[in-house]
Structures are given as C-alpha cells and as structure tokens.
Amino acid sequence: MDTYFLDWANLLLRWVHVITAIAWIGSSFYFVFLDNNLIKPNSPDLLEKGVDGAMWAVHGGGFYNPQKYMVAPKKIHTKLHWFYWESYSTWLTGFGLFTVLYLWNAGTFLIDKSLMDWSPAAAITAALSFLVAFWFIYDAVCRVFGFRENGERTVAGLMIVVVAFAAWLSCQLFAGRAAFLLVGAMIATSMSANVFFWIIPGQRKVVAAMTSGVAMDPKELATHGKRGKQRSVHNTYFTLPVIFAMLSNHYSFLYTYENNWVILVMMMLAGALIRQFFVQRHGYHLGRAKNPLPFAMAGVVILLSVIVWMRPAPTSSVAGKAAVEAPVSFAEVNAVFVQRCQACHGEQVQMKNVRFDTPEGVKLHALNIYQQAVVTKQMPMNNATGITEDERALIKRWYEAGAALR
C-alpha cells in the first residue's frame, strides 16, 4: 500500500513540476526574445518617460506594446507583476520529486554497489552536497570574473570545466540514471538560486527606492540591473542542458554507456550551443548580432558525433536468425524472472504493484517486461540483480515467439 501512495506522489509531483517548468522556461524565453527585439524609440514622449526599448506584437486578436525602462520609471500606473513563483515552484516540486523517487529509495535508485557500496545516508548527503557546492562555485566565479573584460567568456569556460568534473564525479559515485539527473538538478538549483538571491532582491531594491521617493545612487541601480541581466542570461543557457538531463533518465542506453559522463557533457554542450543560436537569432535580423548559424551547426555536429560514437556494433545476421528460431520454453525464461526479477516483483515485494511470480502475472505484464528488460534495459534497476545480456536475449526470443506459458 505504501508503494501505491508513493507512486501517486511521484506522478502528481512530476505533473506539477512539468507544468511549472513550462511556465518558468516560457517566460524566460519570452523575456530573452524581448531583450533582443526591443528597439529604442524615436518618439519624444516615450524618450521623456525613459523608455529605452519598445516593440509592437500581435497575438490572440490583440495588439501588444511592451516597453523597457533601463532605470526605474517615474511612476507605475498599474499592478506590478513579479516573475518568481514560476522559478520557486519548479524547484520545490522538482526537489520534492527527487526526494520521493531518489532520496526516499536511495538504496534502489541512487546507489549502484558496483560503483560505490555505501549507506543510503552517505549517498543522500553526497547527492545534496552536489546541489550546494555547485551553487557556491558558480556564484563565486560570477562574482570574481563576471564583470571583467571578457569576463563572461571566462565564466563560460570555467563552468564548462566545473560541469564536466561534476558529471565525471557523479557517474563514479552514483547509479548512471541518478548521476545524470543529479547534474541537471545542481544546475537547476543554481538557476532558482539566481532568481532568489540576486534577480528578485535587486529588483525589489529598485522598486523600493522608486516608490519611497528616496534618491538612489544611479551606479547602484545600474549594478542591480546589470547583475540581474547577467544571471537571467545564464539561466537561459542552462535551460536546454537541464532539460536534457531530466529527460535522459528515460533512455538507459545513455546513462549505462561506458563513458556516460562524456555523453552527458557533450549533449549539454550541444544544448547550450543550440540555445545560443536562438538567442543570437533574435537580434541578428536587427543587426545586433553576428550570424548565429555557426552555433547551431556546432551543436548539430556534436549531436551527430555522439550518435555515431554510440552506435552499437553490427551483429551477425546468421547468428541472429538462429537465435530467433531457437524455441524458448516458459520454464527457461521463468528461471530468469525468479532469479533477476522476483526480488522486487514477487510475493513479498510488488514494486509498481507488478508481480511476476505467477504465469498469469507474467502474461499480463509480458509487453512491459520486454520493453523494460530488453528494449530500454532499464530493469532490473541499476542491474542490481546482475541480469546478463544472454538472459535479456532469452527474454527477447521468448516474447517475440509469442510469450508462451508452457
């Protein structure tokens, strides 16, 4: 019964997490688009108000005229909307999901004893340390190098090294699936921390100075705006790498690969380059940016390189045909289920409310067994029971021959 409610918690948290992430990423992408498309107006009345950029857009049958002020406007005539709950809700639901799925079941999902045989408490502590340590390192790098000459390039180079090291280390310590997710989670944590510690506090100070009527040092105002813009831009480049890391846990061929950490770093780099293409493309048609196509091409080249590198070796067609033709009895394949599957799907334990300890249960879940054990190879989880490739091939032949129960 406990696993039943845990599955519901997993589902509902995942649902809300995806919804809030869509809201956050959507607003982030939209404001990056605005920053690259707002044009300095020529109208005297707009210039007098302090409008630094404006544009016209049409959507849903209406016309919109967004305007941007580089410093606080003299007066805000309508309600001021703050964009931060999207970020906070995304992180809170994501951390809740991480807790329910990985931390609550650390022995199953977080720990791979073939890599590191440690206690759940130690593994949980190490996992949480990744989230905290990455934020402090990233924040320190931004503070020290961010506003120097060519500082953003320095920040980008250093963070690529830090992320690569974190990817390598996590894949040495944790199960591949958890390692990929953890690297994405540490970056996502820094994204929300940017909003919580820098972007919103800076904006609040500007608004407080404006509404109180107390004069504020223009340099301080500019610093808040500059730092907020810096962290917002970083967040938009983090987005695609984080999304890849979150999706990767559905594709075991990625995180079970021998050099899985290299795959993760390459795919994240490709995502950042492709995001750079879209960011720069917004301003290219206005003459504000160079041709962004090289970034897209570089990202695609990396993607294709990963695909070619990971492609499986060809198998002998003669041997494959003979294997398919060889009949597999239920007794043979059931011996694999007893040894490799029933520890989690038997009489004592029924993970996901699934049982393989009766012929009827096996028949009911035959397709799921084939998908999880043969196609995606996600089960057994972290291969905790040591299923072999020959045993997976046996299940494949049994299923493709009709999944007979005799």
pLDDT in tens, 322-343: 455 668 888 888 888 888 888 8
What's the CA angle centered on 187, arms 137 and 30, to 5 degrees? 120
Whether 239 and 93 map to the same domain: the answer is: yes
pLDDT of residue 325: 61
> What's the whole-number mean pLDDT along residues 34-53?
86
Q: How many domains does the chain have?
A: 2
Q: Measure Cα distances from 134 to 25, 131, 138, 141, 356 in Å.
A: 21, 6, 6, 11, 42
Instruction: Identify the domain containing residue 24 by its residue range.
Output: 2-37+71-310
pLDDT of residue 62: 93
63 C-beta neighbours (distance < 10 Å), count: 8
pLDDT band at 405 (very low <50, low <70, confident <90, very high): confident
Whether 303 and 325 map to the same domain: the answer is: no
pLDDT of residue 400: 86
Final residue of a domain: which of 310, 336, 364?
310
Helix axes 2-37, 85-98, angle to 10 degrees: 150
First-residue to last-residue Cα distance in the chain: 32
Whether 176 and 295 map to the same domain: the answer is: yes
Tens digit of pLDDT for each residue in 176-192? Answer: 999 999 999 999 999 99
Whether 265 and 375 map to the same domain: the answer is: no
CA torsion, points 119, 111, 167, 88, in degrees to nearest 10? Answer: -80
Whether 330 and 305 map to the same domain: the answer is: no
pLDDT of residue 321: 52
pLDDT of residue 1: 46
Region of poorest pLDDT, from 52-66, 206-220, 248-262: 206-220
Final residue of a domain: which of 310, 336, 370?
310
Question: Is 405 among the domain residues?
Answer: no
Question: Is 129 among the domain residues?
Answer: yes
Final residue of a domain: which of 310, 336, 358?
310
Percentage, residues of the chain above pLDDT 70: 95
Q: Cα(401)–Cα(51) distance, rounded to whole angstroms?
A: 71
Q: Cα(111)–Cα(98) distance, rounded to whole angstroms?
A: 14
Question: Is 54 among the domain residues?
Answer: no
pLDDT band at 317 (very low <50, low <70, confident <90, very high): low
Closest CA to 48 of 29, 66, 26, 73: 73
Whether 358 and 218 map to the same domain: the answer is: no
Tens digit of pLDDT for each residue in 357-371? Answer: 888 888 888 888 888
Q: Cα(44)–Cα(252) distance, rounded to whole angstroms?
A: 60
Q: Cα(350)–Cα(101) distance, rounded to whole angstroms?
A: 16
Q: Cα(233)–Cα(155) distance, rounded to whole angstroms?
A: 12
Whether 214 and 343 map to the same domain: the answer is: no
Whether 109 and 235 map to the same domain: the answer is: yes
Question: Is 64 among the domain residues?
Answer: no
pLDDT of residue 79: 84
> What's the whole-number mean pLDDT along residues 4-24?
89
Mean pLDDT over each residue of the chain, to the nearest integer: 87
Greater confidence (345 vs 324) lies with 345
Question: Is 46 among the domain residues?
Answer: no
Whether 204 and 335 map to the same domain: the answer is: no
Question: Is 354 among the domain residues?
Answer: yes
Whether 134 and 76 map to the same domain: the answer is: yes
402: left (phi > 0), else alpha (psi -120 to 50), else beta? left
Whether 231 and 362 map to the same domain: the answer is: no
Closest CA to 91 of 176, 6, 197, 171: 197
Question: Is 123 among the domain residues?
Answer: yes
Whether 83 and 136 map to the same domain: the answer is: yes
Percentage, residues of the chain above pLDDT 90: 44
Tens digit of pLDDT for each residue in 113-153? Answer: 889 999 999 999 999 999 999 999 999 999 999 888 889 99
Tens digit of pLDDT for each residue in 224-246? Answer: 888 988 999 999 999 999 999 99
Q: Cα(179)–Cα(162) distance, rounded to whole angstroms?
A: 15
Question: Is 76 among the domain residues?
Answer: yes
Q: Cα(106)–Cα(120) distance, rounded to whole angstroms?
A: 5
pLDDT of residue 315: 61
